[in-house]
Each structure stands twice: as C-alpha cells, then as structure tokens.
Chains A and B, each alone.
Chain A
C-alpha cells in the first residue's frame, strides 16, 4: 500500500482539480446532512424544553388509583411505609412525599395595587424542604419555621396585631423583622411567614395569560422583580385556613377558621405546577388541625426521581403490582410524539443522503470512465489495485467530510436564523426558549460520520471497477 501521506496528498489534489465533480457529488450530501443535523438539533432542543422544563421525564409522580366500594372511598393510602418501599427500589434515586391541603383554604392579598384572591385548598402542596437542597438560597428560606428547635429568634416575641381601618389598611407591623414576620391574631405572637414557592409553569401562565389581560407587569427574573418592589415583604399574602371562595363547599361552613401569612420566596420546578408549595410540616399540621389524623398522615402523591429515565417502564410495572400508578405522564406522551417526529425527519434526511450516495456512485463511475488512462498511468508507475481503490475511496471520503462540514455549517446557520426570527418576530409565550436547538456532540459527529460513510459506500463500486481495470486496457483508453 502506498504511504498514507502520499495517499492523502494525491486525494486532495485530485479533489481540488475538479470543482465541478465535487459540486455535483457533494450537493446532495450537503443538503442531506444539513437536514439531518438541523432536525436532530431541533428535536433535542424542543425535547430539552418539554421534557426538561415542562414535563421532566426522570421525575415522576406516584399516586394511588381512586377506588370506592358502596360509595365508600377505599383508595389505597400513601404513607411513610409506601415512601420507604419506593425508596428501596433500585431504579429510584429519591422519593419525597407530597401532602395536599385537605380542607378549604383561600388566599388573598395586594399585588401591584390590586386586591387578589385565589383558592388554596386543593392547590397547595407540602413538600420536604430537602428537595431544594441543590438551591442554597431557596433552601435557607424554605423551612418549617414553626418546628421545635427551628432557628427562629422572633418566634416567642409577643405582639399586638395591627389594627385594620375601615379602608382595610393595616397598621404598622409590630414584629422585630417585619419583612419576614407577622403578628398572629390568634396567639398575639410574632410568627415567621410561611415560605411559599411556585413553579415556572405557573409563572409562565401568569406572564402569558394573566399579566396581559389584567394589566399587570410581566415577571422576568423574580429576584430582580422583588428587589424593585422593596423586598420579599411585598410578596406576602394571607392564607385563610378553613375559608373558601368556592360556593357550596360542604366544609365552607365549618366554624374552625384561622389565618396565617405566607410569602412567595422563589420560583422552582420543584414546586407543584399549578398552585403553591410550602414545607410539608405546615400542611401536615394544618391537615391535622382542620381534617384529622388520617389527613395528616396520608400523602397525596410521592414524587420519585429516577436514576435513569429509561428505567421508567420497569418502575411503572412494579408500581402496578403494588396497586399504585404513575400520575398521567404528559411528558411521556410528548416524548413519544417527539420521537415519532424526530424519526420521521431523520428518515427523510437518510433518504436524501441515500439518494446522494447513489448520485455519488454515478458521478464516480463517470469519473473512473473519464480517468481510465490516468488510472493506467498510476498502475504503470507502481500503483497496486489497492492503491487505486484507496485513491478513489479517499476522494469519496473527502467529499463526504467536506460535504458533512458544509452540511453542519448550513444546519448551524439555519438554526441561528430560526432563533433570530423567533426572538425578533414571535410574541412571548410560555417557556419560549432562547434557542430551539441543541446540537449535541454526537449529532455533529454522527452527521460527519454518516456523510463520510455514505460517500465511501457510494464510491465503493466505482473504486472496485477502477482497481480491476487491466493497466494495458486503461492506457489504451482514448
């Protein structure tokens, strides 16, 4: 075999000398690889947004199927034993219980000079504060401040609740740190406001649906928003336990009512999608106070983080054996839809590349025919059949590499154009990403690899034909 350096040099010279042949051969490959890289990058980008931000697939929610007998609710109870059983599964990384507020509750407060009211009962989850361990800022605030031993210096401070005048304006907060504390009307003591987190989904819904229709400001960065409005104290609101905005509620007439204050401290995907989330001990205590012991020991769901989202099917099968199920997995449906669309695009790209490969074969057959005499000369001066084959295959591979690079470049340019058009012309919508593309390394490597392989495959038969040409016949060619 000829030295590799000489082979590369000859391949490059042969390719450069015929731009027309290169263009004819590479055109289809460039288009095919560009579409392959573009659509896969788009699929990955969209997948990142949908499955990473909107419906994270490796985080699933386990619930007990609803069941009743003779009108009696016999739904399996999710308790600490269930949580431990799930945690013991090999495919489970972490399992944290959620407990809904199991009685009527309503929220109200002032926001941007407007009085707001919302239902809390059924729309408030309690979660273990440990779920925010990876966010130190939030974790420092998201605690059960009422727990015994909690680091809360103002907990025992007595106070007189401020008087609310005829216009509903409250007097000065008497507590030592009014940004975080309020004076409770039940026990006349200062209490830390209940820390509340909400999900990006809720924020997107607010920004996309509520803000524009109610003339309220769009919230971009919450931290910045809070600073601009004078601190977290402006994010406070009242939670009226035992009250409701729902007319006809069977529990609305209950005499047991109590008010606490809450404070929005941050936005995180760990919060329930629609509603507010508080440390679970708050909901446990409230449920015990308003709905009894069973409500205080029964979880509404268990949020499970899997080690590997590909193990979801195994975990799901095991859950069925335990009379449990996954909450409706929209993410899974989207994942399937994305997979189908991606597969379709990749198939189209492969079809283009395959046709290009046939085109390359055709062009190289023509080339071999036109270059018979040259091939004869190479054989006469010492080229073996293998050398001739490698030269032709090398030319095909070089077209593949250059065509692949051009294709990747076009895909990147197309992606940049789409992102620019989206940022410039598309209106804001929930989860609008800064880019729709995620060009992972394997996509680019795959594009270049496929390009090269398909070109080499296309060049193989012409190369074999060239190698088989008897030198004397090749030299006799006109």
Chain B
C-alpha cells in the first residue's frame, strides 16, 4: 500500500450521556492510501457520516487515533484544523449546502475568504466551474440552478483549493439517476486523472461500483471486522486494495 492519507485506529464516538448515551462508532480502524477511491457503505444510522465528519475534522472522536494527511486530527489546534479543511480537504454534501445569497462563482471561491494572501481567486474559481462544465453559469445564483447543477457547483467549491482529499457525503442522494451517474463518473475521473483521494459515503450500489474499495459499516463497526476489496472497475480481483484494519 502506498502512503496512507487516512489512518484510523480504534475510533469510537457516542452521542448523548448517561443512560441516553448511544454509541455510534465502536472502534473503527482502517487506512486509505493516496489516490484511492473508497466507498463507505452502510444502513442509515450505521455511523458512516459520523466517520466521514471525524475524518474531515467536522466532528471529534471520543477515542482512538485519527490521522489525516499526516496530521493527528485529535491533537492539532482549531486554527490548524481549519487551515487543513481550507486547503487540503474538500467536502461535498448531499444537500449541496450552497449559500443562496452568493453567485455560483461566489460559492466556489468561498474558501478563499479564509485564506490569507489568496491570489487569482476569480480565475481559479472560473477554472473550477469550467471543470464541472458550468463556467457559463458563474454569475447565476443557486436558486436558478437544477439539482445536478447545484451539486456540480458544490463539487467545484470542493475542488477550488486543489484538495488532496475529497470527502463526499451521499453526493447523489438528492439527484436523479442520470445526474447521479454523471456525478459519479466525474468522481471517477478525478480519481483516475488527478490521483485525488476520495472517500464517498453512500448506500447506493451504483456509487460503490466505481470504488476501488468498499468499507461497510454496520452498527458502528466494520462489517465482519474487515473491508471489501473490489479493485478498480475493470481490474481483476483486489488490485490496489488496502489491508485489513
């Protein structure tokens, strides 16, 4: 396995306290190598989104080690973590999470607002929109876009800072099947052409079909304590699969 971008060791997370305490992650461990495209699958409430949030530093683990892009997420400061999200990690959400009062370009360049000394912001924003095929809609507002277009703008925003890691939470959950297929195909291209590492939370089979590896979670634990190595589409066997947790 090449250099690990994500290393999780016995990650635990619960919500609530006392008698109402509900364990969500019960000691999850696995690694993701640079350039992998991972599908994180499981039923609703299985803990996959929580795991993704912990990897992205949007949530904190109660226990265990979380290392992302060489940073111990549980130990680095809030400012450093924000910088990591700003420059090295991109997020794509099921609900798009675009800001309605901003144009498409404004949404895409939003991360630059928090980057000291950011240069060529508009040009980079337009380039990100060009990559998702929406450069002509740069000055439109999200309310004027279809669901698929919104998601592509959200992807452009995630790509704006040229992240090393793209975390996607149910990215096709709000899209029709055709648009969803286009988005999945775009992710596959990102992975193959740019060697970008992607972790996609999904419960859709078509998404997991493009993944090189599927990590299944049930009740806060990896299914059977290990991952399902599928290999890239077209590959035979488990080429490129990571080892067991």
A binding-site residues for B, Cβ under 8 Å: 2-3, 6, 9-10, 13-14, 17, 373-374, 376-387, 470-472, 475
Q: Give min CB distance, A389 to chain B, whole Å.
A: 12
- Is residue B18 contacting chain A, with contact meaning CB distance below 8 A? no
Contact: A472 with B82, CB < 8 Å? no
Question: How many A-B residue contacts, CB cutoff 8 Å?
Answer: 74
Contact: B114 with A376, CB < 8 Å? no
Given A382-B82, A382-B115, A377 and B97 touching (CB < 8 A)? yes
Stretch from B30-38, B83-91, B130-138 forming part of the interface with A: B83-91
Among A17, A373, A387, A475, which residue has its beta carbon within 8 angstroms of that of B114?
A387
Interface residues of B in 112-160 (CB under 8 A from A): 112-117, 157
CA distance A385 to B60 in the complex (A): 15
Among A6, A382, A475, which residue has its beta carbon within 8 angstroms of that of B97?
A475
B86: A residues at CB distance < 8 A: 381-382
Contact: B114 with A380, CB < 8 Å? no
Q: Give min CB distance, B115 to chain A, whole Å.
A: 7
Q: Give min CB distance, A12 to chain B, whole Å.
A: 12
Q: In which size bucket is the chain B interface?
A: 20 to 34
Among A3, A374, A384, A472, which residue has its beta carbon within 8 angstroms of that of B58?
A472
B112: A residues at CB distance < 8 A: 6
Given A384-B79, A471-B58, A13 and B114 touching (CB < 8 A)? no
CA distance A378 to B83 in the complex (A): 12
B95: A residues at CB distance < 8 A: 373
Contact: B82 with A379, CB < 8 Å? yes
Which chain B residue lies CB-closest to A373?
Answer: B97
Among B50, B58, B78, B117, which residue has its beta carbon within 8 angstroms of that of A380?
B58
* Residue contacts A-B, CB under 8 angstroms, 9 given: A6-B112, A6-B114, A13-B102, A379-B82, A381-B157, A386-B79, A472-B53, A472-B58, A472-B59
CA distance A90 to B112 in the complex (A): 64
B59: A residues at CB distance < 8 A: 470-472
- Is residue B180 contacting chain A, with contact meaning CB distance below 8 A? no
Q: Give min CB distance, A2 to chain B, whole Å.
A: 5
Given A382-B111, A384-B78, A374 and B116 touching (CB < 8 A)? no
CA distance A126 to B78 in the complex (A): 80
Which chain A residue lies CB-closest to B113?
Answer: A6
A470: B residues at CB distance < 8 A: 58-60
Among B53, B85, B87, B113, which residue has its beta carbon within 8 angstroms of that of A10?
B113
CA distance A17 to B106 in the complex (A): 14
- Is residue B101 contacting chain A, with contact meaning CB distance below 8 A? yes
